Structure 1
Amino acid sequence: MQIIGYVFIIIAFARLLAEGFERLGYPGFLGEITAGMILSAVLINMPRDQMELMAELGLFFLMISAGLEVTPEELHYAGRITVPLYALTYLVMFAVTLPFTGWTVSSDNIISAAILSTASAPIVVRLKRFFGEDFLHVALSYAVISEIMGLLIVYMVVRFHESPGHYEMILSSIIKDALFVGAILYANYLLGIKQKVRIIRFLRRLKSDEAVFGLFMVFSTSLAFISEEIGMHFSIGGFLAGLMMHSDLVGTKQYDRLTTIVSGVTYGIFAPIFFAWRGLNFETELSFVVIEFFVAIYIVRLALSTMAVRKTDLPTSIVRGAGIASFGVLGLLMGEIGFVSGVLSEHMYAMSSLASVLGIFTSATLGRLVNQRTSKNPGSLT
């Protein structure tokens, strides 16, 4: 009952602030993070192990939802644009962090660059009217790729830290990861060609939405278990499960049934806990160096993203750039993993975490300002 009480308080307060942020024109998850920051000073005796498990379930469902947003074909098509852009962004972020680490190359730079290269899918979705449908797929693809690559980079660094000199073992682990992802995508390709009709007919025979959801959860948790066992983050298995369950494979009706339930469970229960937990564990330091770090990072990244995805008119280019340069909540998770594992210093953990939160706020604010400007002057984007 004690745990249920804490869960009730967190969900209620997080959703309350989320509603307030939505009314101000910001994504609700920013209110949920803020709720966690406030509650961190109140819920001192909270059972952290149990709540961390709930937060991890939140991450699992969020990654499933991210997978359901795109299809493998869209990811492949958009990847031709977003993968080079992500690689360029990562290298630039790596270079920008060097002055703040004494011009020394270390795991601090590697992980901080991964954190600072991510994008926020909720921000992208909120700004989608400026993107156009084609670019929305590109922006969502960048957000998904940056989150997955960031998690993989962090886990690679942790592996090198835990097994120094054992390069054969690390290389075999990387090969297993690549084979696992490749096998899932190839299986999806084969099923889409040969078994699609059978799958749709089988799902149509199920009488309840709960049966569809139950089968999907068995499938997604199985992939999550396998991904964790081979050394990847469990949430990547959830993402791959969502990626496979696209409407072309399971049928539009079954896809709608599935997404409705997943969305309700995710954003009604587990996502508020995950975002609030990131706020509860948010640690930073406020100093001139930290603010200087964020300003340098954001200006460089916004300029890079705007030039890479530029449109004929400046407002649309800026909003597109802000969508790509929106950082992301998973950056806080990457920083936490790196810091707890001993591969990210406390100073860079604090600066990267603050940059992630401020980046989300700044990109959302830029989108709001352009939205207000275009609402008053509808011809400004044409």
Structure 2
Amino acid sequence: MYLCKKTMSLDIPHFELPFFTNLLILLVTARFFGEVFERFKQPAMIGEIIAGVIVGPSLLNLVHRTEEIIVISELGIFLLVILAGLEIDIDDILKSLKGKNIIISICAFFIPLLSGFAIAHLFGLDLMTTVFIGLCVSITALPVSIRILMDLGMINSAVGQKIISVAIFDDVLALTILGVLLNVNGTDMTVATIAKAASISLLKLFVFISVLGTSYYIIKRLINKGDYIESSLDKLLSFFKGKEPLFAIFFAFVLLFSTVTEALGFHFIIGAFFASMLISESLIGKQNLKNIEATTSSLAMGFLAPIFFAGIGLEFNISSITNIGLLISVILVSYFSKIIGGYLGGTFAGLNSKIAMVMGIGLNARGIMELVIANIAYKAGLINNEVFSILVIMGVLTTLTTPLMLKRSFRRLKANAS
């Protein structure tokens, strides 16, 4: 059955296609354009976003972001964050955050954050929009950074691990601030209210860190017992008659952490990310981890993630951008503040200038995490469609150009080392 309704951006009637027809159009176009971009050695997510723009209200006006598509997009976010967590060894990250390395994380977050604040303030935007522009400028797309470093074969290098650890720190800090903003949304926004919300959020963060730390300690103790968990898990799996019990057990564990973070008032992706980081080869065995990664990747990259990125394209509306000055300013400040922040942080931490520059460039991609935060803010009514569309363009451009810039930087670094 076809429903006639009006779009929010265009005051003309359109026919709402059935849900599965919308899903079919989105998936096919997203996979097609994603494949095209992959062949040109660019992230598939860019092509998938463009697919959403083409079939959405901005151009063809065929598909619209319905509640059902939003639910599938949320699942896509969930699996993308899990895949990112599975790629990371939490011990390596803890090592790389020790000592002066924390300076890199602080500079790479707060310099872009304050720069984003300043630009938004200069254009006379309201307080909440100003904060969110700063937040989206300061973020680093952890999954995109991992993918770029993997493609360049630098994921396990010293610089690569530092980039990942800084990205994790910045993303967690950004998501914590997001939790505070969502808590104060709809209040009287006085200093006392904000201070109270911030205090409650910090207390909740402490509780979550305590839960995470306790879980990490228990897991480390179990790992020290040898292959106890792996052998126990294999026995448990052999007992079940149903298919894919390992996948179900793994996701029950991840969902437990996600439930805890949501109960504490944070976004579910924080719990999903850290839960997946706790699962390692030394805990459950190489084959079990490989099976989990393969199943998760197939479901995420083959179906849910393309729908999520195409859904971002559905919300994007180029006609809503009337403030070209703001668009150009946000893009410029996104590039310069993040690269400078990473460079200065690396220099203060004792890295030589060339490695520090690689750090700054490696942290520049926004992509997934920035789009997730912008999407949450837009859905909560904290930013309007124009600001959302500007942030989408910024995320796309920084993600497109970072692989090229980082590849050249690593090439120069290797040339100077030889």
**Fold agreement, TM-score > 0.5:** yes
What one-letter code is carried by the residue in structure 2 that aligns with 1:361?
A: L
Structure 1 position 168, deviation (Å): 4.7
Q: Could you list the per-position Cα deviations for residues 117-152 of structure 1 after superposition, in whole angstroms to 9, with x for gaps in the alignment?
A: 122332443244357622222222233333332222
Structure 1 position 302, deviation (Å): 1.8
2:332 is equivalent to residue 298 of structure 1: no
1:77-96 superposed matches below 5 A: 77-80=95-98, 83-96=102-115
The match for 1:39 among 55, 65, 68 is: 55
Structure 1 position 242, deviation (Å): 0.4
* Equivalent residue pairs, number: 378
- Stretch of structure 1 that moved more, 96-105 or 272-281: 96-105
RMSD between aligned alpha carbons? 3.1
Bigger share in helix: 1
Aligned to 2:185: 161
Aligned to 2:5: none
What one-letter code is carried by the residue in structure 1 that aligns with 2:179?
A: Y
Aligned to 1:200: 230
Aligned to 1:102: 122
Aligned to 1:49: 67
How far apart, in 2, do the equivalents of 1:45 and 1:272 lie? 14
2:363 is equivalent to residue 363 of structure 1: no
1:1-382 superposed matches below 5 A: 2-40=18-56, 41-44=59-62, 46=64, 48-80=66-98, 83-97=102-116, 98-102=118-122, 106-120=127-141, 121-127=143-149, 128-129=152-153, 133-164=157-188, 165-166=192-193, 168=196, 171-194=199-222, 197-205=227-235, 206-207=237-238, 210-283=244-317, 285=321, 287-309=324-346, 314=354, 318-344=357-383, 348-367=387-406, 379=415, 382=418
C-alpha contact (below 8 Å) 1:119/1:323 kept by paired residues: no
How far apart, in 1, do the equivalents of 2:95 and 2:230 lie? 25
- Stretch of structure 1 that moved more, 15-24 or 36-45: 36-45
C-alpha contact (below 8 Å) 2:110/2:138 kept by paired residues: no
Instruction: Report SS of the residue matched to 1:26.
Output: coil
How far apart, in 1, do the equivalents of 2:307 and 2:101 lie? 30
C-alpha contact (below 8 Å) 1:278/1:333 kept by paired residues: no
C-alpha contact (below 8 Å) 1:21/1:28 kept by paired residues: yes
Instruction: Report SS of the residue matched to 1:25.
Output: coil
Instruction: Report SS of the residue matched to 2:22.
Output: helix
Aligned to 2:11: none
Identity percentage of aligned residues: 20
- Residues 282, 318 of structure 1: CA spacing in aligned structure 2 closer, same or farther, 3 A cutoff? farther
Q: TM-score, normalised by structure 1?
A: 0.86
Unaligned runs of 5+ in 2: 1-16
Greater C-alpha radius of gyration? 2
Q: TM-score, normalised by structure 2?
A: 0.80
- Stretch of structure 1 that moved more, 296-305 or 55-64: 296-305
C-alpha contact (below 8 Å) 2:92/2:161 kept by paired residues: yes
C-alpha contact (below 8 Å) 1:118/1:327 kept by paired residues: yes
Unaligned runs of 5+ in 1: none
What one-letter code is carried by the residue in structure 1 that aligns with 2:135?
A: A
How far apart, in 1, do the equivalents of 2:310 and 2:63 lie? 16
How far apart, in 1, do the equivalents of 2:270 and 2:417 lie? 38
C-alpha contact (below 8 Å) 1:124/1:323 kept by paired residues: no
